[in-house]
Amino acid sequence: MSTLRRKWSAALATVALAAGMFSAVASPNVFAAAAHRAPAHKKWTIGFVPGITTDAFYISMLQGARAEAAKLGVNLDVQGAAQWNYVMQAQIVNDLVTKKVNLLVIAPNDANAMIPPLKSAVKAGIPVITVDTTINDPGILVSRITSNNVQGGALAAQTLAKMIGYSGDVALMNVTPGISTTDQRQQGFLAEIKKFPKIHVVAVEYTNDQQSTASNDTENILLAHPHLKGVFAMNDVNSGGVAEALKAKGKSNQVKIVAYDAEPIAVNFLMKNEVQALIVQKPYMEGQMAVLYAYDYLSGHRKAIVKNVVLANVMADQSNKHNPAITKWYYKS
Ligand code: T6T
């Protein structure tokens, strides 16, 4: 393996491990075989299917994937839909199978509906790595790479509880049932918020990733629960909708918002204290690792692959939102 590749691998491992980015999952021997990797003797093509093409989370992920693909000398065939739609995504997978890509990296739009098309890909001899979201049949996968969504939900509950003085009404703004990541965030939040008996979850809404729906739902929740004190928004589209609705009612920073993700628009709300805290993932690194593992798998260094990678989250709030140790993780659009 080239010296540059070995240095890069060691650097990525150092960053990931030093930053405590791997949770309790098996200690990642991500680059254990790094010293012995042979350079790719042919141009492999990796099919890369983001959850959606129009979201800065996946744009950041693709930036990391492309950077790693350039370092390793592999091709990326990026195919995705502009909307969260597992029927469209299944067709994209089938098209990439027909094109006979060497390996498929995907953020599945639905944990169950995407099992059949991905099983077909594996049956056709195309190995699959999931990134960000995953499917409810991990046995067919080479690896699953994601952030710690259950922990992120629990952290949101702890943070919101403290912000509202450990009592009062709160609401959850989720996306669509069946998305593994946002389902796990809700799971983590609801389990943790039970530790605060004076806090009542008065609504759990699903917006289908539409900001206008998040705004309308927030207005309706305020009408039904005028003493609402906090909202957990499980992605950036939802946090934008909630923040805009509260602003329109003159309730910015009165009703507290803890939100997931750090797209530019979400960071803007954080800077204006119209959203009080963000749970920030590492999509760029997820993209890098997915391509690195694809390379490892195709080049036969499969012992270097961790089956279940769970990256730690970062909390950005009013006390650290300008700190470079935090701002470096804000997503790039
Ligand atoms: O929160 C991210 C991602 O982790 C999730 O799976 C889907 O929504 C986002 O892309 C943000 O919109």
More confident residue, 43 or 115: 115
Residues 136 and 182 in one domain: no
Residue 34 lies in a domain: yes
On the question of pLDDT at 150 being above 90, the answer is: yes
Q: Is residue 316 part of a domain?
A: no
Assessment of whether the complete model's pTM goes beyond 0.75 = yes
What was the pLDDT predicted at 18? Answer: 43
- 290 and 247 part of one domain: no
Ligand 1 pocket mutation pick from 52, 148, 181 by most atoms within 8 angstroms of CB: 181
State if residue 237 touches ligand 1 by the CB under 6 angstroms criterion.
Answer: yes
Task: Based on the fold, state whether residues 128 and 95 are members of the same structural domain.
Answer: yes
Residue 255 is predicted with a pLDDT of: 98
pLDDT range class, residue 333, cuts 50, 70, 90: confident
Is the CB of residue 260 below 6 angstroms from any atom belonging to ligand 1? yes
What are residue 308's DSSP bridge partners?
144
pLDDT over 90 (residue 98): yes
Is 326 part of a structural domain of the chain? no
> What pLDDT is attached to residue 25?
44
Q: Is residue 328 part of a domain?
A: no
Q: In this structure, what token pair is assigned to residue 288?
A: 């890098």
Residue 7 included in any domain: no
Please identify, among 265, 280, 295, the residue that sits at the C-terminal boundary of a domain.
280
**Which domain CATH number covers 233?**
3.40.50.2300
By CB atoms closer than 10 A (0-12, 13-18, 19+), residue 25 is: middle
Is 292 within the bounds of a domain? yes
Q: What pLDDT score does 43 carry?
A: 87
pLDDT band at 6 (very low <50, low <70, confident <90, very high): very low
Q: Total structural domains in the chain?
A: 2
Q: Mean pLDDT across the chain, nearest whole number?
A: 91
Q: Is the CB of 284 under 6 A from ligand 1?
A: no
For residue 88, the enclosing domain spans: 14-147+281-311
Tokens 């594996």 belong to which residue?
122
211 Cα distance to chain centroid:
18
Helix axes 236-248, 211-224, angle to 10 degrees: 50
Distances (CA, A) of 202 to 53, 159, 166: 33, 18, 15
Structural domain contains residue 49: yes
Name the one residue in this structure whose structure tokens are 């094109």.
Answer: 99
- Please indicate, yes or no, whether residues 30 and 138 belong to a single structural domain of this protein: yes
The pLDDT of 154-173, averaged and rounded, is 98
Which two structure tokens, joined as six digits, stand for 297? 């798998």
56 and 120: one domain?
yes
Give residue for tokens 């609801």: 190
247 and 232 share one domain:
yes
DSSP state of 80: -
Give the residue, by CA position, lying nearest to ligand 1 atom 1: 235
Range with the lowest mean pLDDT among 8-17, 94-103, 323-332?
8-17
Same domain, 254 and 238: yes
pLDDT over 70 percentage in the chain: 87
255: in domain: yes
Task: Please state, in angstroms and as integers, the Cα–Cα distance from residue 13 to each residue in 1, 142, 307, following that order.
Answer: 16, 19, 16
259 with 303, same domain? no
Q: Which atom of ligand 1 is nearest to the CA of 209?
A: 12
Mean predicted confidence (pLDDT) in 167-189: 97
Residues 208 and 136 in one domain: no
Whole-angstrom distance, CA of residue 266 vs CA of residue 271: 9
Condensed to tens digits (0 to 9), the pLDDT of residues 280-319 reads: 999 999 999 999 999 999 999 999 999 999 999 999 999 9
